[in-house]
Structure 1
Amino acid sequence: MSAVQLGGTAIDTSIHKIGLGLMTLTWGPDASDERSFGIIKTAIELTPPDQKLFLNSAEFYGEDRDVANLEMLSRFFAKFPELADRTFLSVKGTMSAAPEAIIRSVTKCLNALKGHKKIDLFQCCRVDPTIPVESAIKTLANLIKEGKFDHIGLSECSAGTLRRANAVHPITAVEIEISPFSYEDETRAVISASQELNVTVIAYSPLGHGFLTGKFNKEDLGARDIRRNLARFQDDAMAHNQKIVDILAAAADARSITAGQLCIAWVAALGSNIVPLPGTTKVDRLRENMKAIDLVLTFDDLSQLTEALAKIEVRGGRYFDRSGELLWG
């Protein structure tokens, strides 16, 4: 099935089973409206008319200007206003849960959009370890009452934090990293809690930041590409983790699909409420990613692949080789 009914306060909204992460569209020397508009417009065209395309943006998705991504979206919807209602826009903002910081972040994001597209869902980019999550949710709920946005999400939260937050106000979606590269015990716990609470899971980096496609070449990364600094992209870790890529490549070849499509299909098969969120800067790769919705993995397929992957321990942390309080907050 290509449709997912959102959870929380958005249960009447149907989104496509595959969303679109926007970060890379305003990152790097080749960023341009022409490229970004083509990606977004094509993704909307590939989304059935009775569903919305889940778009994921943030206050800080810009290499040189922190609201560059939102300003790009403002220009896109100013040019194509008829497409605004075809999308569901999720925006990440401040990490601080202080009321004044949240209000300032939401205001900044709204100003960048200039009224050309509403914020459907807002979430703090991480769980603030210094302020109870209940306080953050109360602030966000008050902003909903003021008409600033419609729904509340969480990013990089633990299962326990999700339960605490949802007890204050229904949570529509949680955004966590899920891929054959990132399927930890807490990942499973968050998925389980989300299914119990009727919360949608937005699975970012389903392709392992591109590494799991088998087409990744570190030498092609720009000097400022964040992946150069990630623990799993250091030479020794990459050499070890190539074993995971090899398993995926063999399984994909056996099905006459790409490894990237297999990763997206694997993530999607983990639950009916899970929405893979790949990002790309290339239209042909976008079309390839979106076609993954047509793939069917049986329970046996999923179990066999998961079992094979579990035999190889991933080397390197998800970010800078430390978990810290900002992961699984």
Structure 2
Amino acid sequence: MVMVKRMKLGSQGLEVSAQGLGCMGMSAFYGPPKPQPQMIELIHRAIDAGVTFLDTSNSYGPFTNETLLGKALEGGMRGRAEVGTKFGISFSNGEREVCGEPGHVRAACEGSLRRLQVDCIDLYYQHRVDTRLPIEVTMGEMKKLVEEGKIKYIGLSEASASTIRRAHAVHPISAVQLEWSLWSRDVEEDIVPTCRELGIGIVAYSPLGRGFFSSGPKLVENLSQDDYRKDLPRFRPENLNHNSNIFERVNKIAARKGCTPSQLALAWVHHQGSDVCPIPGTTKIENLNRNMGALSVKLTTEEMAELEAIASVDAVKGDRYGANLPTWKDSETPPLSSWEA
């Protein structure tokens, strides 16, 4: 059994397992929702194994993933887990909306507390930045929620370096969640250094390239019709053939190391630093065990360089998302002075 270490996430006191569990795919986006009893068993297995940092959002379902976690954490399980959830993405008439209005922040928090069946959320993220109002306005309400004991620590997701700085000036940010993997490395230039300068922990989502580094191009063949990965640019036929070469080269190194390509890709994220916590998602216990095995894979400086040469920033074809979903690249907000004026 792999020993899952504990780590400090940020400078405010939050402690989590060094590897977390992304729970989104249990309920949303990656095909139909999975059977609840099996997912609860998976969550319990993760916690028993030391993977105690659970990641969700009110937009997963929407709402159903938080409800699932609430049921899984009934009884003594709650005291053994750290729960991170998010607000800020809502769906109206099939359209995605991003909202950081104070009233929305508070209502979303109350809803998450109710669904999770908890009195306090360990880590509460703004899921996407509302570019219509200053980040200071949203952060001001989150700060109040900390003061009221409804959330312990504050996080941001997909935020630019300047947005992170402005938010951190209102209330210390404990963690920034961002996509970081062998084929998503653009955050290394500006966002990761900013987090480290400010003492902010880094939570890496999709560290396996949304499953690409688990099975390569075969992944796409096996996706259900309602799996949204089918529509992501990197998985489209015109890009997939090129990107498959990256998987094959990673796979050769993994064979040499005696591990799976997914373990190698995940180990690469772990080797980015003691302030980085990857949160690979899965719906299968065997994948949970495999992901934990990545903690035992040790990479030399030469092996890290070899992987990074294969998966350089410009090596991957296709954007992370389609044009309809905002990311840190368009997360700038108006200055507070313009709002107050």
TM-score using structure 2 length: 0.87
Residue 75 (1) aligns with residue 71 (2): yes
What's the counterpart of residue 100 of structure 2? Answer: 97
Whether the 8 Å CA contact 1:230–1:320 is kept in 2: the answer is yes
What's the counterpart of residue 172 of structure 1? Answer: 174
Residue 310 (1) aligns with residue 312 (2): yes
Give the Cα separation in 1 of the matches to 2:168 and 2:156.
10
Which letter maps to 1:88?
A: E
Residue 207 (1) aligns with residue 208 (2): yes
How many residue pairs are counted as aligned between the two chains?
316
What's the counterpart of residue 279 of structure 1? Answer: 281
1:282, distance to aligned residue in structure 2 (A) = 0.6
Counting aligned pairs with the same residue, the percent is: 32
Whether the 8 Å CA contact 1:152–1:172 is kept in 2: the answer is yes
Whether the 8 Å CA contact 1:247–1:309 is kept in 2: the answer is no
Whether the 8 Å CA contact 1:248–1:259 is kept in 2: the answer is yes
What's the counterpart of residue 188 of structure 2? Answer: 187
What's the counterpart of residue 266 of structure 2? Answer: 264
Give the Cα separation in 2 of the matches to 1:242 and 1:279.
21
What's the counterpart of residue 255 of structure 1? Answer: 257
- The DSSP-based 3-state class of the residue aligned with 1:120 is strand
Give the Cα separation in 2 of the matches to 1:311 and 1:127.
24
Measured against aligned partners, the alpha-carbon deviations of 1:156-213 in whole angstroms (never above 9, x if no partner) come to 01122111111111101000000111001x3332211112211110000011111122
Give the Cα separation in 2 of the matches to 1:114 and 1:286.
25
Give the Cα separation in 2 of the matches to 1:245 and 1:283.
23
Whether the 8 Å CA contact 1:89–1:118 is kept in 2: the answer is no
1:290, distance to aligned residue in structure 2 (A) = 0.9
Residue 106 (1) aligns with residue 109 (2): yes
Between 1 and 2, higher relative CO (CA 8 Å, sep ≥ 6) is seen in 2
Whether the 8 Å CA contact 1:19–1:54 is kept in 2: the answer is yes
Give the Cα separation in 2 of the matches to 1:266 and 1:219.
26
Root mean square deviation of aligned Cα: 1.9
- The DSSP-based 3-state class of the residue aligned with 1:97 is coil
What's the counterpart of residue 122 of structure 1? Answer: 124
1:14, distance to aligned residue in structure 2 (A) = 2.7
Give the Cα separation in 1 of the matches to 2:87 and 2:327.
18
Whether the 8 Å CA contact 1:129–1:325 is kept in 2: the answer is no
Gaps of 5+ in 1: none
Give the Cα separation in 2 of the matches to 1:309 and 1:6.
27
Measured against aligned partners, the alpha-carbon deviations of 1:261-304 in whole angstroms (never above 9, x if no partner) come to 01111011111100111000110011000111111112222122
Give the Cα separation in 2 of the matches to 1:146 and 1:38.
33
Structure 1 stretch displaced more, 92-101 or 258-267: 92-101
Residue 143 (1) aligns with residue 145 (2): yes
1:219, distance to aligned residue in structure 2 (A) = 2.5
What's the counterpart of residue 291 of structure 2? Answer: 289
Give the Cα separation in 2 of the matches to 1:16 and 1:328.
31
Structure 1 residues 114 and 295: CA distance shift in structure 2, 3 A: same
Residue 85 (1) aligns with residue 79 (2): yes
Whether the 8 Å CA contact 2:160–2:328 is kept in 1: the answer is no
Which letter maps to 2:215?
A: G
What's the counterpart of residue 22 of structure 1? Answer: 23
Gaps of 5+ in 2: 89-97, 332-341
Give the Cα separation in 2 of the matches to 1:322 and 1:307.
31
1:70, distance to aligned residue in structure 2 (A) = 0.9
- The DSSP-based 3-state class of the residue aligned with 1:279 is coil
Give the Cα separation in 2 of the matches to 1:104 and 1:156.
22
Whether the 8 Å CA contact 1:194–1:200 is kept in 2: the answer is yes
What's the counterpart of residue 232 of structure 2? Answer: 230
Give the Cα separation in 1 of the matches to 2:132 and 2:281.
31
What's the counterpart of residue 34 of structure 2? Answer: 31
Structure 1 residues 105 and 30: CA distance shift in structure 2, 3 A: closer
Whether the 8 Å CA contact 1:98–1:136 is kept in 2: the answer is yes
Structure 1 residues 132 and 30: CA distance shift in structure 2, 3 A: closer
2:157 to 139, 155, 158: 155
Whether the 8 Å CA contact 1:18–1:276 is kept in 2: the answer is yes
- The DSSP-based 3-state class of the residue aligned with 1:150 is strand
Give the Cα separation in 1 of the matches to 2:293 and 2:327.
36
Which letter maps to 2:196?
A: Q
Structure 1 residues 324 and 105: CA distance shift in structure 2, 3 A: closer
Which letter maps to 2:52?
A: L
Structure 1 residues 325 and 34: CA distance shift in structure 2, 3 A: closer
1:241 to 243, 258, 267: 243
What's the counterpart of residue 61 of structure 1? Answer: 60
